């Protein structure tokens, strides 16, 4: 799993909106996604720009496409997000919860002392 590609894809607010739209209603075409972004989010982007965003999401493994007759439908793939949680984010989140009070910076004691 390429975490860099995943986080690069998630770094852009337009791509996050696209994922939200697909989570709400999976299997939309480029035209449908474009209309929803313009209508509901007042987004100002061309279909060509939207297509590039979809390409970045697909490269990161966050969506798959399927041709149905003459239309290309886009589907959200949740597994990379789950994998990122299991591989890296869960560890960060749980350490953050345990590190409270005076011991919050205990693991960085050597850094602060100059060692």
Q: Note the pLDDT tens digit of each residue in 8-48.
A: 999 999 999 999 999 999 999 999 999 998 888 777 888 89
Helix, strand or coil, per DSSP, at residue 39: helix
Please state which CATH class domain 3-79 belongs to.
mainly alpha
Backbone angles phi, psi at 56, to 5 degrees: -65, -45
CB atoms within 10 A of CB 84: 16
Whether the model clears a pTM of 0.85, i.e. scores above it, the answer is no
Contact 6, 62 (CB under 8 A): yes
Q: Where are the domains of the chain?
A: 3-79
Q: Which two tokens stand for residue 65?
A: 């496409």
Strand order in the sheet with 71-76: 28-29, 71-76, 63-68
């Amino acid at each position: 799993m390429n975490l860099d590609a995943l986080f690069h894809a998630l770094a852009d607010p337009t791509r996050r909106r696209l994922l939200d739209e697909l989570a709400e209603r999976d299997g939309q075409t480029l035209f449908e996604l474009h209309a929803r972004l313009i209508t509901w989010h007042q987004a100002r982007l061309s279909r060509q720009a939207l297509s590039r965003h979809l390409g970045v999401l697909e490269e990161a493994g966050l969506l798959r496409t399927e041709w149905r007759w003459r239309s290309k439908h886009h589907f959200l793939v949740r597994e990379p997000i789950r994998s990122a949680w299991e591989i890296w984010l869960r560890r960060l989140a749980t350490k953050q919860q345990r590190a409270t009070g005076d011991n919050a910076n205990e693991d960085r004691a050597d850094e602060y002392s100059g060692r």
